[in-house]
Structure 1
């Protein structure tokens, strides 16, 4: 069995992005670790905070709940502040992850890799899926951490399949289900000016996570304080399965070709 470390930018990214892959790996007997780069302090402020409770406190508690749903064996925090979206003043905050020294952040991740003698490290694609500064930083920090680890782990990059998104959107339009978003274009510039996700021809792994979709939904539910999570959970079951039933990964250095199985399947 393997030990897999998932490096995520913010609490709740693990649930929406790789939650199914994490649950499937845990169910197969692998040790799953989730490392959060930031504390999510610029997320939605819950209206029901208890006296003395902060947004960071709540998001850490929610992350623990998500870990239970996904079978995560350990949750670790790098301790950086959420950098906000491209151009926000938080980008330059002295404790922001986006503005952190890459080697210093990578050493913190490498310490977890060494403590766990990790076999696999999962980060993000080169533009973090949609260009969020913290997601882009995850890409660089993950690869540097792999270089610094005592035993270099196998590296995977979580991403989105741009072609799959386009197909799903076109199907929704034909079914009359996308009238409000009729002008949406997956090839249009996202937060950093690049299109969302990765072309299918550049992907290596497709994981069908529908068998554990209830666990993925439960992990999202654990982050219920967040506005974005609210609209995800508000989707009808069929729509939720279409949007979140597939997870995609790049494996740097692997020969081209998409394989439809878990990257750790026998």
Structure 2
């Protein structure tokens, strides 16, 4: 049995980016540990920002973790920074916002978990934080440093194949002209840097259940919520659309193509 730690910014991030891989590793008998930096108390939701939303989202996180077979769930105790970091209501962040955390101190917190678990693998995000959320960018910074401190040998950046994403967005824009294609042009990672393409179609049911566990994130805010839209995709199509999860391992040569988080057997 090997141990993999999945580090995310908020509850529901695990369901969107790594749920299939988590379920796969747990099913194979590995120990899967889920760590979130914040409780997501400033996320878009029908509930008001604060403690009530934090409790609800952590409850949802534990339900998702149970579906995926996680052995342990840890919340590092930082505040949700909100999507905006300069001005506006969302930018009025708490004193302990994760984006303001000292990177070395936060990395030591995460490294202590990596050492305690003797983790061989840590997942973080790509340098852009996927779509640029400040807490996601901070996950990259903190996670990268924590792996150095703990000596964790495998660090995978959870991402999406930008090339495939842009094809889908451009197709969707034909039917939804208001869709801003340009906002996706620097999101996530280009296909030529991706080193791991993990087939998780077998675990689509678990991934969908993990998404569904985060009910607070399916509604709220202006316009359609991403999670809600994903859950409306018919099940056969869902298995196809979400059947692959992508990762980048920076210490491997360009063009590497692996299909298992720990490396192909």
Shorter-chain TM-score bucket reads 0.7 to 0.9
How many positions carry a matched residue from both structures? 254
- Alpha-carbon distance change, 136 to 182 in structure 1, aligned in 2, over 3 angstroms: same
* Equivalent pair of 1:91/1:98 in contact (CA under 8 Å): no
- CA deviation after TM superposition for structure 1 residue 223, in Å: 0.6
- CA deviation after TM superposition for structure 1 residue 45, in Å: 4.0
For 1:168 and 1:183, how far apart are their aligned partners in 2? 12
> Equivalent residue of 1:93, what SS?
coil
- CA deviation after TM superposition for structure 1 residue 34, in Å: 0.5
1:1-266 superposed matches below 5 A: 1-46=1-46, 54-89=52-87, 90=91, 93-149=94-150, 151-169=151-169, 172=171, 179-181=175-177, 183-185=179-181, 188-189=182-183, 195-226=186-217, 227=219, 228=225, 229-264=227-262, 265-266=264-265
- CA deviation after TM superposition for structure 1 residue 234, in Å: 1.8
- CA deviation after TM superposition for structure 1 residue 166, in Å: 2.3
- Alpha-carbon distance change, 182 to 209 in structure 1, aligned in 2, over 3 angstroms: farther
- CA deviation after TM superposition for structure 1 residue 84, in Å: 1.1
For 1:237 and 1:167, how far apart are their aligned partners in 2? 22
Corresponding position of 2:222: none
* Unpaired segments ≥5 residues, structure 2: 220-224
After superposition, the C-alpha distances for 1:30-77 in whole angstroms (9 at most, x for unaligned) are 1100100111001244569xxxx7111111111110011111110001
TM-score by length of 1: 0.87
* Unpaired segments ≥5 residues, structure 1: none
> Equivalent residue of 2:81, what SS?
coil
Say what the alpha-carbon RMSD is for the aligned residues: 2.4
